[in-house]
Structure 1
Amino acid sequence: MSENRRRKREEVELFEVDDSQMLDPEDDGKDRKPGRVLSAIGKVFLTIIVTLVILCGGIYALMCVVVYGPSRTAQEQFVMSLRETSAIGFIANWFFSEDEVKAIIEKNSIKDTDVITNTSLVTMASGTDSSDESEEQSQDIEIVDIKGTTYRGKLMIIKDPSRVFVGTVPQFFEGDGKVVAKIAARYNAVGGVNGGEFVDGELTYTAMPVGLVMTDGRIVNGDTATRCHVTGFTKDNILVVGNMTGQQALDMGMRDCVSISSSIGPFLIINGEAQDVSGVGGGLNPRTAVGQRADGAVLLLAIDGRQANSLGASFADLLYIMQQYGAVNASTMDGGTSTQMYYEGSVINTPYSPTGPRQCPTAFLVK
C-alpha cells in the first residue's frame, strides 16, 4: 500500500462515528440528569447502609467477646452498665434471660439499709455561718479535678454547708423540667449539681420528681406517710441520708431533701461507715453524688461517662472518692444523661448528651 493511500484511509477512519454514539438533535441531555442524580444518591445511601452494618456488626462482635470471654467481671460490668441506662438497657437481654440479668444486678450492687444518719456525729467547723463576712464567698468553694482508671469529673467542695439547698423547677407537672443552669438562675445560685429521681418509664416527665421533696422545711412533693429513700439537709445544715417517711423527715428538722430509688442512687456512706458493696458495685456510667465531711463541708461530685476519655464510674468508685475526700455521709443522685455540674455561669463537667445536659425537676444548689 502506497503512503498516500494509507494516509487517506486513516483520515476516513478518524471521521467514522458509531451510530449508537450519535446525539439526537432534539435531546439536550436534560432527561438523563434525574437518572444520574438518583444513581448518585443511591450509591451514597448504599455506602452509608453498608458502613452502618459493618459498624453494628463490629460492635455486636465486641459485645460477644466481652459477654462470652473468660472475664466474669467484665461480663457483669457490661450488663450492669447497660441496665443502668434507660435507652439501651434492653441490649443486655440479647445475651441473657431476665432472670440471669436480675441475678447479676443482685450480685453487683450496694445493699440498701435502714440506718439513718446520726446528726450528732457531724461537728461543724468554726466560721461556717454564711452570715460571717470575714471570709470571701469565692474562697468558700473549691473545684477539684477527679481522675480514675475509667473516669474523670469534677468535685465541688463547699466549706459552708448553709449555702447548699434544694432548688426546683417552678412547678412539678407531667412535662419538661429545666437543666441545672436554669434552675440555678431561678435562685441566683452560683453553682450546683442535678438532684433526685423523676418519672422515667414508658413516658418521661422530667418536671415530675419521684418521692419526697422538701424545700425550706416544707414538703413540696410526696406526703408524710410514704417511706422514701431520702438525701437532704437539716436546719442545722447537716446532711442526712436514710429511708424515712415525710413525717420522720419533719421530725428530724429536715429543711431540704430529694428522693431517689436505691437501685439508681444508693447510699454510699452513713455515719462514717461505707455501705455494703457486692461484686463490681454497679456499672460504669456518668454519676452524681452528694456528701459531707465531719467538719460540715459539703462535697458535690459529677463524674463524666460514656465517652472515649471517661467510660464512667461504678457506685463503688463513688464511695471510694467520697472516702478519699473525708465524707462521713454520702449518697448517689440521678446519673446518666442527668449528670451535670454548674458553676459561675458554665457547665464545668462534660455531660453525656449531644443536645446538652438533661432537664431535671430538682438540683442541689449553692447560694
Structure 2
Amino acid sequence: MQTLSRARSYKRTARTARRPWRWVKRLMLLTALTFTTLALGGIIFLFGTQTGEDLREWAAGTLLTTQHDYWAPYTFIPEDKLNALKEQIKHPEVINSETDLGSTELPAMKPIVIPLPEKPKELVDIEEINVKKDNYYFKGKIMYIHDPTRVQLLVTNRKDRGDLLDEFVKKSNAIGIVNASGFSDPDGYGKGAQAYGVVIHDGKIIQGYNPKSGETALGITYEGKLVTGSYTAEQLVKMGVRDAMSFRPQLIVNGKNMFTDKPARSWGIQPRTAIGQKEDGTIVFVVIDGRQPGHSIGASMNDLAELLEERGIVTAMAMDGGSSSMMLHNGEAITKTSCPYYRGRYLPNAWAVI
C-alpha cells in the first residue's frame, strides 16, 4: 500500500509540473490567434474599405515628399494614382505674381492704409496654432512682421556645412527667423551647405536658377513686397528683388488659393514652413510642427493654404519642411523641431527679421 501511495503521489506531482507548460502553450496559441485576427482585420480595412484606401494614399503622398520616397510603391496604391501624386509634387501649378517684366521700374505696391494706433505697434506678433482635424491634429506658430522691409534672407558663409538657426541669429541679431531653401540631403545626412535653385542676397545673385530642380522662386523687393513665380535670377533682380530663394509649391498667388479643390493627400502630412504677405504689407512666417504623436502630427499643403487664406494672406509659398521646419523668436525656439537634434538642422539660408 505504501508503494502504491508513493506512485500515485509521483503521478500527481508530474501532472502538476506539466500543467504550467500547458497554460503557456494555450497563451501562446491565443496570442498567435489574436495577432492573426488583427492582421487580417487590418488588411481587410486597408485594402477593402474606402477609408483604408485614403489612408494608403495619405501615406504614399507623405513618403513621396521625404528622403524615403522609394517606399511609396509599397503602399500598394494603383500605379495611375501613384503617378498622379508624383506629378502633382514634381510639377505643381505655378502662377507669376508679377507679369510686367518689360519695365525697369519697381512693381508698384498698393497703398498701405493703417489707422494710427493708440500706442506704437510691436514689430513682431506671435499667434498660436492648434488645429484638430477628423483624423489628425497639428500645432505651430505664426509670426506677423509689420514692417516688411525688415525681412531679409540670411545666407551661410561656411563651406563645410550650413548654419543652425541660432547661429544665424548670433551673426545677425535677428529678432525672428525660420528656415528657407531646400538642399541636397542624401539619406538624411545633408549638411545644408548649398541650397537648391535661385539664391539672391542683398541684390547680388549667389546662385542662378537650376531648371532640373523644378523649384519656384520667392523674393522680396527693396520696398518690402513679396514676389513669387517661375522667374530667373536675372528677372528677379530686374524687378527690384533684394533677396530671393527657391522651393515649392506656391500656396496663394494674387489672392488665389492654389490648393482649392485639390486632393490634400498629394503632399501628405508633414512639418511645414511657409512665408506669406497680407494686403497691408505685413509679412508672416508660419511653422507647423509634425511627426510627433501626442504633440503634433503635421499638416497638409491644403491645411497650410487654408490657414493663410483665413488670415488675409494674398501671396504665400511653402519653404522646405520636415525636420528643417523651425522658428526662433528672440533667440529661443518657439516651435518643436522633429529633428533629433533640438537645435534643428544645418541650413543654407533662412528668412529673418533684422
Q: Give the TM interval when normalised to the shorter protein.
A: 0.7 to 0.9
Choose 155-164 or 115-124, whichever is displaced more. Answer: 115-124
**SS, match of residue 328 in structure 2:** strand
1:295 is aligned to 2:276: no
How far apart are 1:168 and its partner, in Å?
1.2
Instruction: Identify the match of residue 144 of structure 2 among 144, 157, 160.
Output: 157
1:176 is aligned to 2:161: yes
- Show the counterpart of 2:14: none
Mapped contact 1:228–1:245 kept (Cα < 8 A): no
> Structure 1 residues 61 and 125 mapped into 2: Cα distance closer, same or farther (>3 Å)?
farther
Q: How does 1:217-228 map to 2 (within 5 A)?
A: 217-222=203-208
- Show the counterpart of 1:229: 216
| Alpha-carbon separation, structure 2, partners of 1:157 and 1:267 | 19
Instruction: Identify the match of residue 123 of structure 1 among 102, 111, 118.
Output: 111
Mapped contact 2:259–2:302 kept (Cα < 8 A): no
1:305-332 Cα offsets, whole Å, 9 max, x none, are: 0111211001111100111111110000
> Structure 1 residues 108 and 245 mapped into 2: Cα distance closer, same or farther (>3 Å)?
closer
> Structure 1 residues 347 and 215 mapped into 2: Cα distance closer, same or farther (>3 Å)?
same
| Alpha-carbon separation, structure 1, partners of 2:171 and 2:225 | 24
| Alpha-carbon separation, structure 1, partners of 2:147 and 2:155 | 21
Mapped contact 2:95–2:253 kept (Cα < 8 A): no
> Structure 1 residues 116 and 334 mapped into 2: Cα distance closer, same or farther (>3 Å)?
same
Q: How does 1:54-65 map to 2 (within 5 A)?
A: 65=45
User: Cα RMSD over matched residues?
Assistant: 3.1
> Structure 1 residues 209 and 59 mapped into 2: Cα distance closer, same or farther (>3 Å)?
farther
Q: How does 1:76-155 map to 2 (within 5 A)?
A: 76-86=57-67, 88-96=68-76, 100-106=81-87, 111-117=92-98, 119-120=107-108, 122-125=110-113, 135=120, 139-149=122-132, 150-155=137-142
> Structure 1 residues 283 and 110 mapped into 2: Cα distance closer, same or farther (>3 Å)?
farther
How far apart are 1:63 and its partner, in Å?
8.7
TM-score (normalised: structure 1): 0.73
| Alpha-carbon separation, structure 1, partners of 2:350 and 2:153 | 6
How far apart are 1:246 and its partner, in Å?
1.1
- Show the counterpart of 1:206: 192
| Alpha-carbon separation, structure 1, partners of 2:126 and 2:152 | 18
| Alpha-carbon separation, structure 2, partners of 1:81 and 1:224 | 25
Mapped contact 2:182–2:319 kept (Cα < 8 A): yes
| Alpha-carbon separation, structure 1, partners of 2:162 and 2:49 | 42
> Structure 1 residues 216 and 127 mapped into 2: Cα distance closer, same or farther (>3 Å)?
farther
- What's the % identity of the aligned pairs? 29
1:70 is aligned to 2:55: no
| Alpha-carbon separation, structure 2, partners of 1:104 and 1:348 | 33
1:204-255 Cα offsets, whole Å, 9 max, x none, are: 3411111111111111122699995111201111011111011110111000
1:112-161 Cα offsets, whole Å, 9 max, x none, are: 22423465464334599xxxxx946xx12100001212211000001110
Amino acid in structure 2 at the alignment position of 1:254: V
**SS, match of residue 74 in structure 1:** helix
| Alpha-carbon separation, structure 2, partners of 1:197 and 1:345 | 22
- Show the counterpart of 1:248: 235
Instruction: Count the aligned residue pairs.
Output: 298
Instruction: Identify the match of residue 216 of structure 1 among 196, 202, 207.
Output: 202
| Alpha-carbon separation, structure 1, partners of 2:184 and 2:210 | 20
Amino acid in structure 1 at the alignment position of 2:69: G
| Alpha-carbon separation, structure 2, partners of 1:157 and 1:63 | 46
Mapped contact 1:341–1:347 kept (Cα < 8 A): yes
Identify unmatched segments of 5+ residues in structure 2: 1-34, 100-106
Pick the structure with greater CA Rg. Answer: 1
Identify unmatched segments of 5+ residues in structure 1: 1-54, 129-133
TM-score (normalised: structure 2): 0.75
| Alpha-carbon separation, structure 2, partners of 1:245 and 1:333 | 18
**SS, match of residue 129 in structure 2:** strand
Mapped contact 2:65–2:268 kept (Cα < 8 A): yes
